[in-house]
Amino acid sequence: MSSAAPARPLTPVTRVLRLCLHALFAGLLALAAARAVTGSAPRAGWTASVCALLAAGYAAGVRAPAVGRSARAAGVWLAGMGAVWAVLLVLSPDGLWLAFPLYFLELHLLRLRWALAAVAVTACGAIGGFVAHTGAANPGAFLGPLLGGAVAVATVLGYQALYRESERRRELIEELMATRAELAAAERGAGILAERERLAREIHDTLAQGLSSIQLLLRAAERTLSEDPAPTRPVPAPADVVPGAAPTGSAIPTASAAPTASAAPTVSANPAAPAAAPSTSAAPAVPAVPATPATPAAAVSAASAAAALGHIARAREAAQDNLAEARRFVRALTPPDLEHGSLAAALERLCSGVPGPRVRFSVSGVPRELPTPYEVALLRIAQSALANVVRHARAGRAEITLTFMDSSVTLDVVDDGRGFDPDRAPSGDGGFGLPAMRARAESLGGLFTVESGPGQGTAVAVTLPLPLET
C-alpha cells in the first residue's frame, strides 16, 4: 500500500497484522541481543547497543505521523533503519533474521517500484552478511533471503489486491445504499403524490358532491320560500251583513270616539207611546264574525313551508353524511356506506337518497364478495356519476346496474338527460369528475367508458377484472 494513498480507518484485520509485524520485529531484535549476550560472542555489548538503537528507531518511526503520510519521510526513516541494520549484520549473523520484517515495512511504506528495489537491496545485504560470517556460499545462503523476499512480495501484493477489491465493493455498497436511499425518497414522493391524488378523488366524489347537494337543496328551499305569497290581511265583513254598516275603515269604532248629538235617545210626541230605543243609526254595532276558514292562499303557504322543510331536512342529512366522510378521512377507514353492508346495499341506499331524478338500482349475476379497493372504487364512481346526473344531465330517470360475471364486475350508470359530447366534457367542476373516475378504474386494471351525445342521454360503464382466487 502506497503512503500516498488516503488514510483509511484501520480494520480489525489490518490492526492485527500491524501488531504481528511489531511483535515480530521486537522478538527478533530481542533474540539477537540475547544470543549475543548469553553466547559470549565478540562485541556482545556493541551488538546489544545496536539492537536497542534499532528498537528505538523502529518505535519512533511507528509513532511518527509523517512516516505514514509522506513517502519521503518513510524513505528517510527506512534508510536510517537500513543503515543501523547493516551495522548489526557486521556485528552479528543473527541480524539476518530482521530482513523479513524489513521486507514488509518497505513494501508497506514505499511505492511499488521503490519497494521492490528496497527488497532486493535488503535481500542482497542479508546474503552478504550470512556469507561474511559463515564463509560458505552455499545455495541455502541465497535461497533463504530470496525466498523470504518473494513470499513477502507475494503476500503484500495479494493483500493490496484484496484491499482494492474490498474498497471497490465498499464503494459499490455505498453507491447502492445511496441509490436505495434515492429510490426510497422517490417512492416516498410518488406515494405522497398518489395519496394526494387519492384524497383529491375522495374529496371530489364525497365531500364536494355532498356539499353541492346541500347547496342545491338549500337553493330549492330558498326558491320555494321566495315563491310563497304575502301573508293575507283580515277580510272585512260584507256590506249586507248589517244594514247601514259603516264604511270598511270604520267598521270597528275606536274607544276615543265621542258620541254625536244624534246618538241621544229621541222622545216621542205621543206620551202613551213607549220610550224609543236609543238610535243606532250613527254607529251601528257590528255583530261578532265567526272564525274565517283557511283560504287557498293559506293552504299554498303551508305546502310551501312543508316543501322547504323537506329540502332543509335532506340538506341536514347530506351534511351529516359528509361529516361522517370527513371523519373517515381522519380515521382512514372504509367508506361509512360499506361498513355495515355490501356494495349492493350501499348502492341501493345511494339511489334512494338522490335528489331530483328517479333512480333505479338492479343487480345482475351472482353477487360475490369483492376486495375493499374494488368496492370503494365502484361506490365512488357511482357517487360521482350520479352527482353529474343531478348537476348537469337534467334527467328524469337514471338507472344503476351492478353486474357480476365470472372474471369481472361491471357498473353501469345510465340516464335519459340532455347528454354531451364526450370529446368536450363539461368543465363546470374543473373537469375533475370523469378523469377521476377513469383514474380509479385504471388504478385497478379496469376499463372506463363513456357513451353520450347531445340529447341522447349518457351511459357510464366501468369494468374491473376480478382477482384470481387462490
pLDDT tens digit sequence for 299-317: 557 777 777 777 787 777 7
CB 39 within 8 A of CB 83: no
Q: Is a pLDDT exceeding 70 seen at residue 122?
A: yes
What's the CA gap between 36 and 92, in Å, rounded?
Answer: 8
- Tell me the per-residue pLDDT of 211-269, one tens digit each, with 9 for 90 and over: 777 777 777 777 777 765 544 444 444 444 444 444 444 433 333 333 333 333 433 43
State the residue for C-alpha cell 382466487.
Answer: 469
Positive/negative CA dihedral, 11, 17, 20, 26: negative
Q: Tell me: the pLDDT tens digits for 318-329?
A: 777 776 776 666
Q: Which residue intervals of 92-138 are DSSP H helices?
A: 99-109, 112-134
Average pLDDT score over the chain? 76
Residue matched to cell numbers 426510497: 184
pLDDT winner (highest mean) among 136-145, 314-323, 352-361: 352-361
**DSSP 8-state code for residue 179:** H
Q: How many CA atoms lie within 13 A of 293 on its CB side?
A: 1
Contact, 358 vs 417, CB < 8 A? no
Read off the pTM.
Answer: 0.39
Contacts of 58 by beta carbon, 8 Å cutoff, 6+ apart: 25, 26, 81
Q: Show Cβ contacts of residue 387 under 8 Å, excluding neighbours closer than 6 positions.
A: 205, 209, 212, 213, 433
The three cell numbers of residue 273 are: 207611546
- Do residues 4 and 111 make contact, with C-beta atoms less than 8 angstroms apart? yes
- Give bridge partners of residue 410 from the DSSP assignment: 403, 463
Return the bridge partners of 450, or none. 460
